[in-house]
Structure 1
Amino acid sequence: MSDNRSPRTSTEVHRLLDEAFAGIDPTPEAQDLKEEIRDNLLSRVAELEVAGASPAEAARRAVDELGDVRELVAAATGDADASAPSARAARPAASAAQTALRHRVRPKPAFVVRTVVLSIVAAAALVTLVLGLTPLMPLAAGPLIAIAAALGLAIGVITADALRQETTTNYPLPTGRAVAFGAATGTLVASLGFAAVVVWRLELVWLVLAAVLAVAAIAVLSALGATQTNRHKPWVVAMHRDAVEVGNRFEQDPAAAARFGIYSAVIWLTAFALVPVLGFTVGWWWAPLPVVAAFIVMMLVLARMLFGHDARSSH
């Protein structure tokens, strides 16, 4: 696998990391953590260089984002002596909120403006779509479909744009995956709006197209979720490792996340298959019931998989 990092970048990262670990007992656990941090730093430096930072500036910023390395080692190894005396005295008083504040990344003004504008557009489209389906402001099918598409586009752009931003806890998502998440989310929202237009304005046979779009979007979202890797910054990973509560099972068990994606796809495929069955047998007013039931079942499965099982209790 090719590595396009410059030798200067790698040397600077190695030097700064060695300085940060100076004075820390080189136990196997500390060395493993150092190598893990090194890989994360090199990836982060590459992102910063793409954004326009010089190699030295990118390396320094990436190391600064780590915070106190002694605290990370203490959290990862459970060794209180890995921290300096002042850090050990301060740690009991330090909270997660204080740690997050120390590593805080402020949102870019342009991103905030884009999000606000697109949110207003999405809200206006949703209100217009709902009113256009009622006698208060009746609209033809064509404009309603265009409004549903605009709603999905706005939501999709908001989603992709948000995932491309660096946050206090997470690194940005790669552009390709962010766009895929946004496109799938926008398609799902647009397909639901189109389904509403079909029920009130078009022949119900068009509901099949809405179902196909929704299932395709859900399948893409499930695949993206099942293959998502860690985006957390090192200080967040260390904090999670040191936490005593169960936490998010999907972060601890990627296989569970994959199973949830498969379950979701099966649930929604079954629901959309039942929609035309109910429509042609007992009446189209009953057709939305499988969709509602699928949402409820998916939420119950999600709650069960996230919080209903403590993997550590089985050991």
Structure 2
Amino acid sequence: MTDHRSSGGDLHRLLDEAFAGIEVTPEIQDLKEEIRGNLLARMGELEASGLSQADAARRAIAELGDVHELIDVDGTADAASTAAAPAARVGSPAPAARAESATAAALRNRVRPKPGFVVRTVVLSIIGGAALVLLVLGLTPLLALGTGALIGLAVVFGLALGAVTADALSQETTTNHRMPAGRAVGYGAATGLLLAGLAFTPVVVLHLDLAWLVLAGAAVIGAIGALSYLGATQTNRHKPWVVQQHREAANIGTRFEDDPASGARFGIYTAVIWTIAFVAIPIIGFTAGWIWAPLALIGGFVAMMLVLARMLFGAKSENARKTE
């Protein structure tokens, strides 16, 4: 892999010049590296549009503006740093009334994860992971657990990761506005139901009457249907500077963003794939043996990933070939 520093030497030099006179603290260094990553991405877009590497570097730096102003607004520099003379603009001078660039707006409005959210995510993830490990071991002679305990572990696994999903979606990020609480809870509940249903399936196969498999399948299919509905009706939560970046960068959006109907179709395809997979489980179990039944789940997952890749990138690749 080529080192990104060797592919944008002009940009790194210009960025160092822009930060001249600013005291380098850990926060400033983090900010600088974040700016560097955004500028490298912007530089790649400009090179793709036909600019030379040197011109692309100068344009990206010029669009960034005065880093002293970003640091002052962000509050990450001390008074001595913000009082320093602004770094000279590199490249073509921007108009005085130039609108703030999307990259600068994103950096100025960064949203850092809240400590409470990080702690909750770690704790719930550990609980979910421990429940899954105990469930797997409980299905083997290594740790023979009762049916009730296994069902409880499947429920805990689903609840923990469902809560993580809902909590994560309800957080504001630098890219997206906060998702409404009701919709976030819906995503979390559907995710938890899906995972609990999948974890419950081997318990049914090994310890319960196979009629319970209908309940597991109904839970999984219902969860997939709910996720499909939520995904198909999802509205755009992107913040203004992200929308601007999408407008500036060619082909930056995914097919689902450009064509919401594709997202709805993907939800339908997903429901059909998993319905077939769960119908195939008892068929394979009664014919080839229950040890082979999980192959239906693996096949459903692989099919879903292939459909997703095709729908997200297939049409874009075809359009790209037409324009070449």
Q: Normalising by structure 1, what TM-score?
A: 0.68
1:199 Cα deviation (Å)? Answer: 2.1
Q: Deviations over 1:28-60 (max 9, x none)?
A: xxxxxxxxxxxxxxxxxxxxxxxxxxxxxxxxx
> How much does 1:247 deviate?
3.4
Q: Residues 90-105 of structure 1 correspond to what in structure 2 (within 5 A)?
A: 100-105=106-111
Give the SS at the match of 2:236: coil
Question: Does residue 182 of structure 2 align to residue 176 of structure 1?
Answer: yes
User: Which ranges of 4 or more aligned residues in structure 1 deviate by more than 4 Å?
Assistant: 85-88, 311-315
Indicate how the Cα distance of structure 1 residues 151 and 228 shifts in structure 2: closer, same or farther if over 3 A, else same: same
Q: Does 1:152 align with 2:158?
A: yes
- Per-residue deviation at 1:200? 2.5
Structure 1 spans left out of the alignment, 5+ residues: 1-63, 66-80
Q: In the alignment, what sits opposite 1:135? A: 141
Q: Which residue pairs with 1:248 in the alignment?
A: 254
Distance 1:196 1:99 in 2: 50
The answer for unaligned runs of 5 or more in structure 2 is 1-72, 75-91
Equivalent residue of 1:136, what SS?
Answer: helix
Distance 1:293 1:215 in 2: 16
My pick for the range that moved more, 302-311 or 273-282, is: 273-282
1:226 to 216, 232, 243: 232
1:84 aligned onto 2:95: yes
Partner residue in 1 for 2:205: 199
1:285 partner amino acid: I
CA–CA distance in 1 between the matches of 2:281 and 2:129? 28
Deviation at 1:99, TM superposition (A): 5.4
In 2, Cα distance between the equivalents of 1:276 and 1:127? Answer: 25
Report Cα offsets for 1:176-211 as digits up to 9, x if no partner.
111110000000111111112122322333222111
What is the SS of the residue equivalent to 1:144? helix
* Structure 2 equivalent of residue 111 of structure 1: 117
CA-to-aligned-CA distance 1:151-173 (integer Å, 9 cap, x gap): 10001111111111101100111
> 1:121 is aligned with what amino acid?
I
Distance between the aligned counterparts of 1:188 and 1:108, measured in 2? 28
CA gap of 1:106–1:246, structure 2 versus 1, over 3 A, is closer
Question: How far is 1:87 from its partner?
Answer: 5.4
Give the C-alpha shift of residue 174 in structure 1: 0.7
208, 211, 225: which one pairs with 2:214?
A: 208
Q: How many residues are treated as equivalent by the alignment?
A: 231
Kindly report which structure 2 residues correspond to 1:40-79, keeping only aligned pairs within 5 A, or say none: none
1:264 aligns with 2:270: yes
What is the alpha-carbon distance in structure 1 between the residues aligned to residue 181 and residue 221 of structure 2? 23
- SS of structure 1 residue aligned to 2:237: coil
Alpha-carbon displacement from aligned partner over 1:248-274 (angstroms, at most 9, x marks no partner):
111111011111011111111111122
> Which residue of structure 2 aligns with residue 165 of structure 1?
171
TM-score by length of 2: 0.66
Give the partner amino acid of 2:211.
V
